[in-house]
Amino acid sequence: MISLVPPAERRLSTADQRRETVLRTALGTFGAKGYYGTTTGEVAKAAGISQAYVYRLFPDKAALFLAVVERCFTRIRESLGDGVAEAEGSTPEAVLHAMGDVYAKLIAKENALLLVQMHAQCAAISEPAVREVLQRGYARTVEYVRGVSGASEPQVQQFFARGMLCHLVVAVDAGEVDAPWARTLSAGIRHY
């Protein structure tokens, strides 16, 4: 067979490239509909591939969802690293503040990350594999935050507690509600 496209210009879709496409697409799909509401067929359609090809890359929907949750933790870790770089040489409080700020910007810009985290936390109640991935992801993230910030146990706990409160503030749009309860919850919480 004769090809009219020079070899340097051919772009073959590798399994790794397809896997990345599926993970990116699945992040949005699972973010929108959650673990239970999303089918691999929907992910395949959104990614422009067959459902059979999704199953070549991931053995089942659970494996795909777990890979998406892992991807969220990776993206969050990268973002926290940006905050550390901004606060280099600062106090633990300043490092935590900078990491919190970049995280707030991240979930505002890439809201599917927040949605997948929330769906994963709900699914973890009844899905042991999801619970285990969350436990490992949070273990790595807590140790990373502790290590790079030099913060105390209570400071690290407060950092994560504020992050969870940030999730709630964003989810219910509390920053836009003019009511005592909303002002109480959103006071001091940065959201973009």
Alpha carbon distance 126, 22 (integer Å): 25
Percentage of residues of the chain with pLDDT beyond 90: 84
Query: Between residues 122 and 13, which one has the greater pLDDT?
Result: 122
- The ranges assigned to domains in the chain are 65-186
- The CATH class of 65-186 is mainly alpha
Q: Which residues contact 90 (CB under 8 A, 6 or more apart)?
A: 98
DSSP letters for 89-102: T--HHHHHHHHHHH
pLDDT tens sequence across 38-80:
999 999 999 999 999 999 999 999 999 999 999 999 999 999 9
pLDDT tens sequence across 146-164:
999 999 999 999 999 999 9
| Residue 110 clears pLDDT 80, i.e. is over it | yes
Q: Which residues contact 126 (CB under 8 A, 6 or more apart)?
A: none
